[in-house]
Each structure stands twice: as structure tokens, then as C-alpha cells.
Structure 1
């Protein structure tokens, strides 16, 4: 006796989630979405407030001639306001009354076309101690001629170099990190009115 038993293909078993299990499953997804949203909200102000590296550096505009004209009355001499070629950007010009070092002086600084720094200080009352402070105790290493003036060079490795010269009745010190070519441009421009 043979019986024919037809086997029916097994239908896939569908898991049945209880309402509590479904709620727990959804809670994990909702929690992840909320954590992501909070992270983005925290990150957004940082991104918006960060400087754009592609944007050009904004430097203040300093009218050296105008500040020099204002300082002339207290200086007792005509502060140097050299006309420099394009690419030299003045970032400060001021009269220092001598409170910190005892010698009142004119002080101007520029960023050069090579993105280095050059400054001048000028005074009618220089003394050896003040000059040594201005050149950062660097030794005399020679002379250079720029603008028809012979400048004494002070230089030592790791310290900015300086030119010291006499313009009219004043001592002028050109100092900074720039190369000799840019120093010569500034020194020649400072010396130009004296010729």
C-alpha cells in the first residue's frame, strides 16, 4: 500500500515582531539620526567661522606720509616716509616717545614683495647703547652702499640683519628678515630725500 504524499514547498517563515520589539528597533535608528543631526549642528559653526585659505590676507592701509607729517612737530626732524615700489606694504608707522628705551624715535615697518619684513627706526638722539639694542647686539660685519649712503652692516646668524646710517642730522636703522636686495631698496628710498 503505497500512499502518495504530496509535499508542499515550505513557505518562508516571516518573523513577527511584537510591538515592543518594533519600537526598540526603531529607537536605535532614530537615535542614530538624532546623534548625526547634533554632530552636524556642532560642526557647522566651526566650518562657517573658519578662515577661507583661498581668501587674500587683509592688511591695514597705513599712510606713512600722513603719520610722518603728524610726527614732524614732536620729532624735531622730518621723519622718513620713503616712496617704495609696488609690493611693499606698510603695516605700521608711529612716533615712539622714548618711554621704553629712553630714545624718542620714528618707527615704520613694511611687508616686502617676498613676504619678508623690513623696518626703519630714525632718531636725532642715538647713542651706542640704543643702537646696540636696535641691532639686537649683532656685531658689525661690513658696510654696504645704498642710495649714495654708506651703511654699516650688523649681522649674525639667526638674528635679523641691520643697516645703520646717517641721514641728515639723524641716525637711521634698517632692520628685518628680508634679503639684501629688498634692504637696499628701502635704504635707497630712505636716503633719496637727503641727496
Structure 2
């Protein structure tokens, strides 16, 4: 049997030498399963999923109890997702959601609902307090902003509320808010 050092004689160098084989094994496995890459140019944007927002919004307009708007957005904004949700709480309702990738590559989301503003905000972005207002296209939008969180803007159109949120800059918010404000409700049944 080899002559071992007493445990008290081990130091950080022994720890480093014992971890090197483990790190090499982890890197090899990650490389074999394509879970990491060593690209010199950094990350690249993948393919943006395609979503037929016009059809989804027309369907929502025909099936939901509130007016649904289809915003006319710049050509370089691409719809990439959509869903429908229900808020069962008092003051709740149905939520129609469409996600967009802006020309700058950031994600923006439009939620339309018959829920009250407070319940809609709580459902979509969590408990927040209004931090101000902004008028876009003659419509007042209430801003909900919190450090280290995506901002949200909400407009009350009477029979429905629109909430926009996302990672875009102020110009992206203004673009989406103006398009929603300018849009006429789609025909119901």
C-alpha cells in the first residue's frame, strides 16, 4: 500500500489536483451532448417562431365577451406567440395574449382583457404600484415600473383593458401603445 500523507498535511493544491479530472469529464460530456459551444463571435439569434396573430385575434374577437384590437405594427415586428387565459378572481376575466419580437430583437407582449386593471396587472406582472402615466395617441396609459423588472403599461378602453410589457425600450412601448390605441375593435360574431 502506498505511503499516504496524514489528512492534516493536505492543502488547497491537493484539492485543485483532485478537481481537475472532474472538470475535464464535465466539459467532455457537455461537448458530446452539444450543451455548450466555444464560438468566437458570441451567441447568435435563433429562428423566431412564426405565429398567426391576425387569425388568433379574429378568433378571440368572435369568442370573447370584450372588444379585441389588432394593432398595425411595423413590418419588422414579428408575432411569435399567443395564448388565452382566464383570471378566476373577483374582477377577473379572460386574457388574450400575443407576443412580438421587435425589429431590435426584444420581446414585447400585448394582453387584452375584460378584467379590472388591478386584477390584470396582478395576474400578468405581479403585485406592483402605478408609477406614473403617459399619453399616447390620445389614450392615457398607466405605467407600472419596478427596479429589476420589465415595465408594464395599462390602458382602459371602457369595455376592455390592454396591458403591454416587455424588454423593449421606451420607443418600443410607445410604438405598441400607439398601435393598440389606433386600432379599432375587430368585428365580433
Equivalent pair of 2:69/2:184 in contact (CA under 8 Å):
no
Q: Find 2:74's aligned residue among 70, 79, 85.
A: 85
Q: Find 1:103's aligned residue among 93, 97, 105.
A: 93
Please list every run of at least 4 consecutive aligned residues from structure 1 whose deviation after the TM superposition is greater than 4 angstroms.
45-56, 99-102
Q: Distance in 1 between matches of 2:35 and 2:140?
A: 50
- The alpha-carbon distance between structure 1 residues 100 and 54, as it changes in their structure 2 partners (threshold 3 A), is same
CA RMSD across the alignment: 3.1
Structure 1 or 2, whichever has the larger Rg, is: 1
Gaps of 5+ in 2: 1-27
The alignment covers a number of residue pairs equal to 153
SS where residue 151 of structure 1 aligns?
A: strand
Number of the residue aligned with 1:69: 58
TM-score by length of 2: 0.67
Higher relative contact order (CA 8 A, sep 6+): 2
SS where residue 151 of structure 2 aligns?
A: strand
SS where residue 172 of structure 1 aligns?
A: strand
Equivalent runs, 1:22-41 vs 2, <5 Å: none
Give the drift of 1:48. Answer: 9.3
Give the drift of 1:146. Answer: 1.5
Number of the residue aligned with 2:24: none
- The alpha-carbon distance between structure 1 residues 132 and 48, as it changes in their structure 2 partners (threshold 3 A), is closer
The one-character-per-residue Cα deviations of 1:151-192 (angstroms, maximum 9, x if unpaired) are 011101101101111125101111112111100000111111
SS where residue 69 of structure 1 aligns?
A: helix
Q: Distance in 2 between matches of 1:64 and 1:153?
A: 25
Gaps of 5+ in 1: 1-41
Give the drift of 1:54. Answer: 9.0
